Amino acid sequence: MLTGTIFDIKEFAVFDGPGMRQTVFFKGCPLRCSWCHNPEGLCMQPQLMVSHASCTDCGRCRAVCQHETCIACGACVAVCPLRLRKIAGEAVSSEELVRRIRKNASYYARYGGGVTFSGGEPFMQHAFLLEVLKQIPDLHRAIETSGFCDQAVFEEVVRHLDYVMMDLKIFDEEKHLRYTGVSNQKILENARQLCSSDTPFVIRIPVIPGVNDNEENYRATAEFLQGAKALQKVELLPYHKTAGAKYSMLGMEYQPDFDPEAAVQTSAKLFAEYGIACEVL
Ligand code: SF4
Ligand code: SF4
C-alpha cells in the first residue's frame, strides 16, 4: 500500500467539476508559476504556516520549539491559543484517503458530484493517485492538472477518471518556460491525447495580465482545441490580486514577474468563432 502527501480536503466544492464535490489537494508541483495562489502545494514536504497578523507575541510557540531550523514537527501548533499555526502537508495511506473520501461520498453523489484531485500537481504522486483511483471506480472522479507528466502516465491515469480539468497556461513554448519554469511540450502532447479521447474535459486558462491575455495566445489555443469531441468548454480564470496572500505564512516572498495591478483582457467571443463554449469565471 502506497503513502502520499496531501495538504487539504475541501468539502462542498462547487467550482472543481460537475455537481458538488470534495477536493483532495496533493502536495508537490513541478511548475513554478509566479501567480500561484497555493504556494503550500509547491514542495512535497510538510511545511509550517503561520498567520502573523493577529499574533500577540505571547511566546508559547518559541517555548516549546526544540529546533533551530523548523522541521514542521507541529509541536508549536497545539500551544498557540489563537490557532495561528498549522502544518500544511500530511502523509496518508491510499487506504486512509479512500476511507475519508468514502465517508461523505453518497452525499456528493446525490448532488451529481464526486471527488476531485487537485494540488499542487496530482501527477507528481501518480502511483499513489492511481492506487486511490482504482479503489473508487463507483465514484465520479475528476482531476485538476497542469498536464505536466509523461504521456504513458497521463494515459494510464486518465483511463481511471471521468472528467479532466487541465490548464493550457501559455501556448508559446518559450514564454511558457519563462513564466512557469517548464516547457509546454509534454502538456501539449497530453492535451492532444485528450482532444482525441472520449473523456469529458475542460481547458482552463489562468488569465495573467501582460503574460497570456492576448489574441495570439487565445487564437493559438482555440485552433489547437477546435474539433475536440469531448471538450466541454474553455474556462478563463482572471488573475486575482489576492493570489499572494499565503506566501508570508510560509516565510516566502510573493514575487510576481508581471504587473499584478494591470487589468486582464479576456476574450470569450474569440473561442465562439471556433465553435468552443467559453466561460469567464
Ligand atoms: S513546527 Fe513549530 S515546534 Fe516544530 S520545528 Fe517548526 S517552529 Fe519548531
Ligand atoms: S503562540 Fe501564537 S500567538 Fe503566541 S507568539 Fe506564537 S503564533 Fe503568536
Give the whole-angstrom CA distance, residue 73 versus residue 78: 11
Greatest Cα pair distance, the chain, in angstroms, is 63
Say whether pLDDT at 241 is over 80: no
The ligand whose atoms approach the alpha carbon of 83 most closely is 2
The ligand whose atoms approach the alpha carbon of 49 most closely is 1
Q: Look up residue 101 and give its DSSP letter.
A: H
**In 3-state terms, what secondary structure has residue 72?**
coil
Ligand 2 mean position, distance from CA 169 (Å)? 39
Question: How does pLDDT run across 144-194, given as a tens digit for each residue?
Answer: 999 999 999 999 999 999 999 999 999 999 999 999 999 999 999 999 999
Q: 253: which 3 cell numbers?
A: 516572498
The ligand whose atoms approach the alpha carbon of 70 most closely is 1
79 C-beta closer than 6 A to ligand 1: no
Question: How does pLDDT run across 80-127, given as a tens digit for each residue?
Answer: 999 999 999 999 999 999 999 999 999 999 999 999 999 999 999 999
Torsion of CA 168, 173, 179, 183, to 10 degrees: 90
Whole-number pLDDT of residue 242: 77
Give the whole-angstrom CA distance, residue 75 versus residue 90: 15
Atom 2 of ligand 1 has which residue's CA nearest to it? Answer: 76
**CATH numbers and ranges of domains, the chain:** 3-46+89-280 (3.20.20.70)
Please compute the mean of the pLDDT values over residues 251-275 and round it to a whole number. Answer: 87
Please compute the mean of the pLDDT values over residues 197-215 and round it to a whole number. Answer: 95
83: left (phi over 0), alpha (psi -120 to 50) or beta: left
Atom 3 of ligand 2 has which residue's CA nearest to it? Answer: 55
78 C-beta closer than 6 A to ligand 1: no
SS (H, E, C) 146-180: CCCCCHHHHHHHHCCCCEEEEECCCCCHHHHHHHH
